Structure 1
Amino acid sequence: MSDLSGMGHLHEAGDGRREAHDEHKADDGHQVGDGREVGDTDGTGGPAARSADAPWKRLSPRMLFVHPVQELGKTAPALIVALVAGSGSGHRHIYALGAGVLTVVLALLRWYTTTYRVSPELVELRKGLLRRQISSVPLDRVRAVDLTAHVAHRVLGLTRLTVGTGHAAESEEDELKLDALTRDEAVLLREQLLGAAEAADAPAEPARSPESARAAVGSSDPIGPIGSVAPADPPLARMRPGWLRFSPFSYSGFVVLVVLVCVLMEAGLDVRHLGPVDSVVSGLGGGHGPGPVIEAVLAVLVLGTLLNVSQSVMKHWNFTLHRRRGGNLETTHGLLTTRAITLEERRVHGVEIGASLPVRLLGGAHCFAIATGVRGPQHNAMLVPPGPRDEVVRAAGAVLRAPDALTGPLVPHGAAALRRRYVRTLWPCALAVLVLGALWWDGDVPLLAWLASALLLPAGALLARDRYRSLGHTLSGRYLVIGHGEGAGARRRVALAREGIIGWNVRRSLFQRRAGVLTLTATTAAGRKGYAMQDIGAEEAVRLAEEAVAGLMAPFLVGGTGEAAEAAEVAGAGEAAATGESKESGEGSPRARPAEPVAER
Structure 2
Amino acid sequence: MSTSGAAGWRRLDPRIVVATAVWCALLGVVALAVLWWRDAPWWLYAAVPPAALGLPAYEGVRWHRTTYRLTSERVELRTGVAVRSHRSVPRQRIRSVDVSANPVHRLLGIRTVRIGTGHHVGSGQDAVLTLDALAVRDSDALGERLLRGRGAGEDGGGRVTLARIRWGWLRFAPLSVVPLLLGLSAVGGLHNLLDLLGAEPDTVLVPRLISWLTGSADLLTVVPLVVLAVLATGVVGALGLYVEMWWDFRLTREPNGTLRAARGLVVTRSVSLEEERLRGVEIAEPLLLRRGGGACTYAVATGAGTVEEETRGHDSSALLPPAPLAEAHRVAAAVLGEDRDPTESVRLLPHTRHALRRMLRLVLLTGLGLGGVLVLLGALLTPVLVHAGWLAALVVWAVGTPFAVDAHRNLGHGVTGRYLVTRHGTLKRRTIALRRDGVIGWNITQWAWHRRSGLSRLTVTTAGGRGAYHVKDVLLPEGLRFADEAVPGMLEPFLVRTPVVPEPRTARGLGPRPHAEGAP
TM range (shorter): 0.7 to 0.9
Partner amino acid, structure 2, of 1:530 = A
Query: Which residue matches 2:376?
Result: none
Q: Which digits, 9 at most, give the CA deviation of each residue in 1:529-560, with x for residues without a partner?
A: 33333332333222112112223333333x32
- Aligned CA-pair RMSD: 4.7
Contact 1:253 1:304 in 2 (8 A): yes
1:270 matched to 2:202: yes
Contact 2:296 2:328 in 1 (8 A): yes
Going from structure 1 to structure 2, the CA distance change for 1:329 and 1:514 (only over 3 Å counts) comes to same
Shift of 1:493: 0.9
1:144 matched to 2:96: yes
1:382 matched to 2:315: no
Q: Aligned to 1:398, which of 334, 338, 348? A: 334
Q: Aligned to 2:285, which of 355, 371, 393? A: 355
CA distance in 2, matches of 1:113, 1:74: 26
Q: Aligned to 2:268, which of 314, 328, 338? A: 338
- TM-score (structure 1 length as normaliser): 0.64
Contact 1:148 1:160 in 2 (8 A): yes
Shift of 1:245: 0.9
Q: Which digits, 9 at most, give the CA deviation of each residue in 1:11-35, with x for residues without a partner?
A: xxxxxxxxxxxxxxxxxxxxxxxxx
1:307 matched to 2:237: yes
Q: Which digits, 9 at most, give the CA deviation of each residue in 1:159-179, with x for residues without a partner?
A: 222333342467999543333
Aligned to 2:303, the other structure's residue is in SS state coil
Using the aligned pairs only, state the percent identity.
Answer: 36
Shift of 1:419: 5.0
Contact 1:554 1:560 in 2 (8 A): no
Q: Aligned to 2:225, which of 273, 283, 295? A: 295
CA distance in 1, matches of 2:54, 2:266: 29
CA distance in 2, matches of 1:429, 1:355: 27
Q: Aligned to 2:411, which of 471, 480, 483? A: 471
Contact 2:184 2:230 in 1 (8 A): no
Query: Which residue matches 2:446?
Result: 507
Shift of 1:94: 6.3
Contact 1:249 1:358 in 2 (8 A): yes
Contact 1:503 1:522 in 2 (8 A): yes
Partner amino acid, structure 2, of 1:163 = I
Query: Which residue matches 1:560?
Result: 497
CA distance in 2, matches of 1:172, 1:423: 37
Contact 1:279 1:292 in 2 (8 A): no
374-383 or 147-156: bigger deviation = 374-383
Identify unmatched segments of 5+ residues in structure 2: 372-382, 386-390, 501-520
Contact 2:446 2:455 in 1 (8 A): no
Q: Aligned to 1:481, which of 421, 445, 456? A: 421
Going from structure 1 to structure 2, the CA distance change for 1:544 and 1:73 (only over 3 Å counts) comes to farther
Shift of 1:496: 2.1
Query: Which residue matches 1:45?
Result: none
Count matched residues. Answer: 461
Shift of 1:341: 0.9
Contact 2:97 2:113 in 1 (8 A): yes
CA distance in 2, matches of 1:336, 1:158: 14
Contact 1:505 1:521 in 2 (8 A): yes
Q: Aligned to 2:294, which of 364, 376, 380? A: 364
Partner amino acid, structure 1, of 2:144 = E
Query: Which residue matches 2:513?
Result: none
1:541 matched to 2:471: no
Shift of 1:343: 1.9
CA distance in 2, matches of 1:124, 1:240: 40
Shift of 1:180: 2.4
Identify unmatched segments of 5+ residues in structure 1: 1-50, 209-230, 434-441, 445-449, 564-601
Q: Which digits, 9 at most, give the CA deviation of each residue in 1:191-242, with x for residues without a partner?
A: 12322xx3xx78xx9xx9xxxxxxxxxxxxxxxxxxxxxx824322222111
Going from structure 1 to structure 2, the CA distance change for 1:533 and 1:562 (only over 3 Å counts) comes to farther
Going from structure 1 to structure 2, the CA distance change for 1:269 and 1:329 (only over 3 Å counts) comes to same
CA distance in 2, matches of 1:390, 1:91: 62
Partner amino acid, structure 2, of 1:494 = I
CA distance in 2, matches of 1:279, 1:527: 58
CA distance in 2, matches of 1:470, 1:406: 13
Q: Aligned to 2:467, which of 529, 538, 549? A: 529
Partner amino acid, structure 1, of 2:424 = H
Shift of 1:184: 2.1
Going from structure 1 to structure 2, the CA distance change for 1:97 and 1:415 (only over 3 Å counts) comes to closer
Shift of 1:562: 6.2
Q: Aligned to 1:158, which of 110, 129, 132? A: 110
Going from structure 1 to structure 2, the CA distance change for 1:545 and 1:130 (only over 3 Å counts) comes to closer
Contact 2:111 2:133 in 1 (8 A): yes
CA distance in 2, matches of 1:233, 1:160: 24
Contact 2:116 2:127 in 1 (8 A): no
Going from structure 1 to structure 2, the CA distance change for 1:65 and 1:461 (only over 3 Å counts) comes to closer
Partner amino acid, structure 2, of 1:153 = H
Contact 2:68 2:75 in 1 (8 A): yes
